[in-house]
Amino acid sequence: MSSEAIEKLAASIGENVYIDVAKWHLYLSDAHLHTTLAEQFYPMLQKGGVSESEVNTVLKGIKVKLGGGKVELPLFDLLPMQSQVHLMDALEEFQRDM
C-alpha cells in the first residue's frame, strides 16, 4: 500500500468533503477523518473502484464521537448530500489518475 498515494487521496477527501453541523462546514481534514477514509477506500480503488453503496457502507461504519464522546453517530449521518457527491467525485478523479 503506497503511503504517498493514500496521503494524496486523503488530501483530496479532506479539502472537498465536510460534515455539516448547524450549517457550519467542518472539512474532514480539520476533523482528522480524511486519512481514515483514504485508508479504507484506497484498496477498493486499486481493485477497480467503488460503488455508491460501498461508499455508504464505509461511511456508516465510521463512528464520529460528539459532545466529548457522549454521542456517536455514523459519518454517513453527518455528511450532507452535496458532500457525499464531492466524496464520490474525489474518489472517481483519484481512480482516473491511478
pTM: 0.93
Q: What is the CA radius of gyration of the chain?
A: 13
Q: What are the residue ranges of helices labelled H in 1-98?
A: 3-16, 34-46, 52-61, 75-78, 81-97
The residue range of the domain holding 36 is 3-97
**Residue range 40-55: average pLDDT?**
95
Q: How confident is the model at residue 86 (pLDDT cuts 50, 70, 90)?
A: very high
Contact by Cβ (8 Å): 18, 29: no
Phi and psi angles of residue 84, each rounded to the nearest 5 degrees, phi first: -65, -40
Q: Give the count of domains, the chain.
A: 1
If we measure between CA atoms, which residue out of 80, 81, 33 comes closest to residue 58? 33
- 3-class DSSP state of 10: helix
What does pLDDT average to over the chain?
96
